[in-house]
Amino acid sequence: MTLITLTPFDLALAASLVLLLALLSWRLRLGVERQLLIAALRSAVQLILIGFVLKLLFAQSNPLFIGLLALLMLSVAGYEVMSRQQRRFTGLWGYGIGALSMFLSSFSVALITLWVILQPAPWYTPQYAIPLLGMLLGNTMTGIALSLDNLTRTAWDKRQQIEAQLLLGYDAQEAISSIRRDALRSGLIPIINSMAAAGIVSLPGMMTGQILAGSPPLEAAKYQLLIMFLIASGTGLGSMAAIWSGSKRLFDERQRLRLDRLTK
């Protein structure tokens, strides 16, 4: 099967559809045309730049450069987690909880996959390591952001209920246990929906890309299944780590609810 190469004109035609959507948003007064155009521009610049960077990495396969790119990806993902929360933790905690949770989950799952399942030689081969880590970070980022946002917003809204339970003798983690469970569910729902609908309602992005690039459909399906299992485990582990750290941060050593540690 011959790979169809896209030209700048092809991409311009696709971009015109986004411009049409922005025009309709302006006409209907939806108020999202500016964000839509900025997001489209950012995605174009970022993807083209990362394309050049990956081309250099694939040619050199230098573990130092690969590690630096991985840390850059983690840093940006940590910022995105923080920025998506309505009430985030103040100070370095607002950034650190999300970034550390993604590091513990996404990096550990990626390393296990490279060492045990895929076993490329060398194990840090950028063709496998960077796309794998990128997909894990991107999806784990969404789950952790949803979980933390749900945790902090609900704790703020139900602060009187939590404090009443503390007065009745519950310890901090018992008083917030139901909120913590709901927060974890909110982080896991997107990946559960994606797995449930894969293959029937939709063809996932990686599988579609491989098929368009000429890979056998069954081989593309196996790789997509591997990635979805990895994303589910990474998202679950990352969300659990974030919720555990966040729920501990909401209380002090005397079991008092400390909402002053959240942004107003």
Per-residue model confidence (pLDDT) at position 202: 67
**3-state SS, residue 169:** coil
Strand partners, 25: none
Distance from the Cα of residue 74 to its chain's centroid: 10
Instruction: For the chain of 264 residues, list the mean pLDDT of each consecutive stretch of 10.
Output: 76 92 89 90 89 83 87 91 86 91 92 91 88 89 92 91 88 88 90 80 72 78 87 91 92 86 83
CA distances from 85 to 73, 156, 168, 209 (A): 19, 13, 31, 31
Query: C-alpha distances in angstroms, 160 versus 41, 80, 84, 173, 175?
Result: 44, 30, 25, 15, 11
Mean model confidence pLDDT for the chain = 87
Query: What pLDDT score does 3 carry?
Result: 66
Q: How far apart are CA 67 and CA 73, in angstroms?
A: 10
Buried b (16+ CB within 10 A) or exposed e, 166-197: beeeeebeebbeebbeebbebbbeebeebeee
Q: What is the pLDDT of residues 128-158, one digit of tens each?
A: 888 899 889 988 999 999 999 999 999 998 8
Q: Is 249 helix (H, G, I), strand (E, B) or coil?
A: helix
Position 1 scores a pLDDT of 56
Q: What does the pLDDT look like over 79-112, one tens digit per residue?
A: 988 888 888 888 889 899 999 999 999 999 999 9
